[in-house]
């Protein structure tokens, strides 16, 4: 195969992760590891591309037939919904997509974050959830609300927000998914911890100060932050003998779903996990990312 435009070999199927900023993304590591384990690395390429919201429409329109699809991270997930020809039901409920697949019938949008959240929570033995409190009220909170329906939530989902005037995403997701949602200030967290599960969608380090009070509750925990070492919140909860999942597992499973959507082949979960964990170990163990920014 010869090198073509931008150094990509001609005849190679292309894919990428788009967002801004994008330099921190683990997606190229995970997808490239998948291609290698699947034996298609000589025919598939996956890179990170800086792309802002105003640039997205032109970027998508300018792709040629060599492109299989793209992963989307912040701040593109909501805007991308208006740029696809079809959107899966989960994406419509959440109000955002993280995957676009190019097909002969047009661009198809998917949300694999929800299935990633479910897989992460189940990975620590939590099979069903009756009650849940979500910390943070952004896009990941919206995906979490839809995920809770899959896990069988019965009580209204409590969303604790730092700013109660900025809760549109989870509020709308709950209405579309048929999941009752109630809101309270994050400062009132002590009143909302008698639940089966606490999900922190706060930025990396954002849950450190409240880790002790969450650890004193009966709840299992899912923290979307991740790094080479467990987050402060996860360490506090597991030290009490309760299950706690981190964001890397969500990132891994949503990436597996993307690989399968783009290639049509089963994703090699273990190979992708090993590659991601090896990359995290090479980074500063005190620096944590979040699964919402991949």
Provide the 3-class DSSP secondary structure of residue 9: strand
Q: Where are the beta strands (DSSP E) in the chain?
A: 13-19, 44-50, 67-72, 86-87, 99-103, 106-110, 132-135, 157-161, 181-185, 197-200, 220-223, 225-226, 244-246, 289-290
CA atoms of 288 and 95, how far apart (whole Å): 26
3-class state of residue 262 by DSSP = helix
The burial of 41, by beta-carbon neighbours within 10 Å (0-12 exposed, 13-18 middle, 19 or more buried), is given as middle
Give the active site residue among 68, 69, 72, 77: 77
Which DSSP state fits 77?
Answer: T
31 a catalytic residue? no
Contact 247, 290 (CB under 8 A): yes
Burial of 99: CB neighbours in 10 Å, binned 0-12, 13-18, 19+: buried
Which residues does the annotation mark as catalytic? Answer: 77
């Amino acid at each position: 195969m010869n090198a073509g435009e931008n150094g990509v070999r001609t005849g190679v199927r292309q894919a990428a992760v788009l967002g801004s900023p994008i330099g921190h993304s683990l997606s190229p590591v995970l997808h490239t590891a998948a291609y290698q384990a699947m034996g298609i690395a000589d025919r598939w390429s996956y890179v990170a591309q800086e792309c802002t919201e105003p640039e997205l429409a032109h970027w998508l329109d300018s792709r040629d037939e060599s492109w299989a699809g793209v992963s989307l991270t912040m701040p593109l997930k909501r805007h991308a919904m208006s740029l696809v020809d079809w959107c899966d039901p989960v994406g419509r409920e959440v109000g955002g997509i993280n995957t676009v697949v190019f097909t002969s019938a047009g661009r198809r949008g998917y949300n694999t974050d929800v299935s990633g959240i479910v897989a992460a929570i189940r990975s620590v033995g939590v099979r069903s959830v009756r009650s849940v409190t979500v910390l943070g009220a952004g896009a990941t909170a919206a995906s979490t609300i839809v995920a809770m329906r899959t896990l069988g939530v019965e009580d209204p989902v409590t969303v604790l927000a730092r700013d109660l005037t900025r809760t549109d995403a989870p509020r709308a997701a709950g209405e579309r998914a048929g999941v009752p949602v109630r809101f309270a200030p994050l400062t009132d967290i002590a009143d909302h911890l008698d639940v089966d599960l606490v999900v922190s969608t706060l930025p990396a380090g954002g849950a450190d100060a409240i880790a002790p009070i969450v650890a004193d509750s009966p709840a299992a925990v899912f923290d979307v932050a991740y790094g080479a070492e467990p987050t402060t919140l996860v360490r506090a909860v597991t030290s009490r003998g309760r299950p706690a999942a981190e964001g890397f597992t969500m990132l891994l499973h949503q990436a597996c779903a993307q690989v399968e959507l783009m290639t049509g082949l089963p994703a090699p979960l273990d190979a992708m996990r090993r590659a991601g964990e090896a990359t995290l170990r090479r980074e500063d163990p005190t620096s944590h990312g979040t699964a919402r920014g991949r």
